[in-house]
Amino acid sequence: MSMNEKEGLILSGKNGLYTVEAENGTYVCRSGTRVRKNDGKILAGDKVLFRDNGDGNGFIISMLNRKNSLVRPPVANIDLLAMVVAPKDPAPYLYNIDLLTVIAEKNDIESAIIISKSDLGDHAEIVDIYRKTPFRVIITSSESGSGIDEARALLSDKICVLCGASGVGKSTLLNSLYPELKLQTGSLSEKIARGKNTTRTTELFPMGNGTYLADTPGFTAVNTELYCAIDHKELHKLFPEFEKHTRNCRYSDCTHTKETECGIFEAVSNGEIALSRHESYKKLYGELKSIDRYK
Query: What pLDDT shows up at residue 250?
Result: 93
- CA–CA distance, 237 with 101 (Å, rounded to integer): 12
pTM here is 0.88
Could you tell me the strand order of the sheet in which 204-208 lies? 136-139, 110-115, 80-85, 159-163, 211-214, 204-208
In order of start, what are the domains of the chain with their CATH numbers?
Answer: 5-63 (2.40.50.140), 69-221 (3.40.50.300), 228-290 (1.10.40.50)
* Arithmetic mean of pLDDT, 154-165: 91
pLDDT band at 171 (very low <50, low <70, confident <90, very high): confident
Is the confidence at residue 87, as pLDDT, over 60?
Answer: yes
* Band of pLDDT at residue 281, cut at 50, 70 and 90: very high
Question: Above 70 in pLDDT, residue 257?
Answer: yes
| CA 194 to chain CA centroid, nearest Å | 15
The per-residue pLDDT for range 204-236, each reduced to its tens digit, is: 999 988 999 987 655 444 554 555 678 889 999
